[in-house]
Structure 1
Amino acid sequence: MNNPPQSPIAFELPAEIKKEITPASPFLRDLRGIYTLWLRDVIRLWRDRIRLVGSFIQPILFLFVLGGGLKGRVLSQGSTENYQVFIFPGIILMSILFTASFAGMAVVWDREMGFLKEVLVAPLSRTAVVIGKILGGASNSLIQGVFLLALAPFLHIYPSFAHLLLMLGVMVIVSLSQTAMGIALSARMSSSQGFMVLMNFIVLPIYFLSGAMFPLNKLPMWLSVLSQLDPLTYGVDLMRGILLGTFYYSIDRDILIIILFGLLMLYISVRQFQRD
């Protein structure tokens, strides 16, 4: 007699293996992708010690050499403000602005090396890729801004704990908005040399028009209009107002314009990456 066919043996995978092979939800995948891209950019900064140290040279030269040389000569007569104290908030934001531009340079380098192509074909949304790059660049900018803020006692500046928290908040939103600008500019660039030329053409005017090195009052009309179109102007005004107690514009206007500019740059960055 023939034996009846045997039923297949039921095999149950261990719960740990089932958890590993179960596809994660798109939201969780995007969160992991954002975290990975953020961590990669932060690690790259800390491993590049020359870049980390060199990025402090220009702000320190502006603060102590240029500021010390022009001390008592730039501000209006009768002013009791120390010029180095006056430019200190702008120097911090200068470091943030210049470091944020390297976030865009990192995108161009990744494109040249083929890493960006691997990221874009991964099961991640383009929005997650952009957010991860923005958070990485903003974190690097914020770290360097905090280091410069630690120089305040050398200028006999002793802000209160509440003022420090407020300045850190301003540095966070400026870091995010300026990094988003760098990512938006780099989204269609394929040459690191071309991107550096573009950033020098954009970053330097943004910094010098922001009022970081001179008061905004008594400016010529054309220069005053250009200064009001500069988004960094409102970040400098916030930082200086917190430190010195006087605002050129209103606090609400400063915060609103910085946030709207950051959201606009985020939207442009996502749209540019979706076309890639």
Structure 2
Amino acid sequence: MDSVERPNWAPVEIDLGRPSIARVYDYWLGGAHNFAVDRAVGDKVLADVPVLKSVILNHRAFLRRAVRYLLSQGIRQFLDLGSGIPTVGNVHEIAQAVDPAAKVVYVDIDPVAVAHSRAILTGNESVNVLQTDVRDARGVLKSPEVQDLLDFDRPIAVLMIALLHFVPDDDDPRGIVGAYRDALPPGSFLAMSHAGYEDGEWDPSWDEARGTYNRGVSEMTYRRKSEVEALFEGFDLVEPGVARLPLWHPESPDDVDENAVHFLGFGAVGRKS
């Protein structure tokens, strides 16, 4: 793709001829920061796992509802871990629509997502973007991007949306969450969505779908509801606790259909006392 075809939001260091998982997700979410090569990959994965788009849209809808809830609780600082490309209905758009001074730090390890994010967010002085591994909580929390923007004397919301199911058990997801929790002041929150299922609910056909996703996108670990609840150790769960994603504070009855009670994933928000 030559310079004439390159839009102003696409950084020059990014090869637009190669697909990017971050831009594939942007495509699935209905965003405009993607190209034909990304759409081709996205369509191929959806052809094999058609339900995936609904799953991704439900995680994003949960993000919007969670951020609005956090804003209603007075939160004005957000640390979004594994953020991807912050375009469609993302944290800074929602938060700054309520309070233009709301602050957001986006963190992602994907250089494509980070490069696009920095280009998109140029000029927004209340948003920083950090490229690093979110598993390194100390590195994230001590970074200039976080320290220069967020005030750790005031409550902060940490967002882990569709993140920890990409962290295998060997990497100690509970320890990762605990490291962020311990650094937060009282009154802070954790919002999380996670792929998972109830005890005794596992369907062997899900293995095939997960295998297709693992090959086409990234390795994923489903966890039981009880395991997701354990990730909130040290937080007081907001009602209704760990719930199927569509059932966590739905915006209207129309948003909940007969499939909601069997949705393969959970969401929850917890407050540090």
Q: Provide the TM-score with structure 2 as the length reference.
A: 0.32
More contact order relative to length (CA 8 Å, sep ≥ 6): 1
Q: Provide the TM-score with structure 1 as the length reference.
A: 0.31
Higher helix share: 1
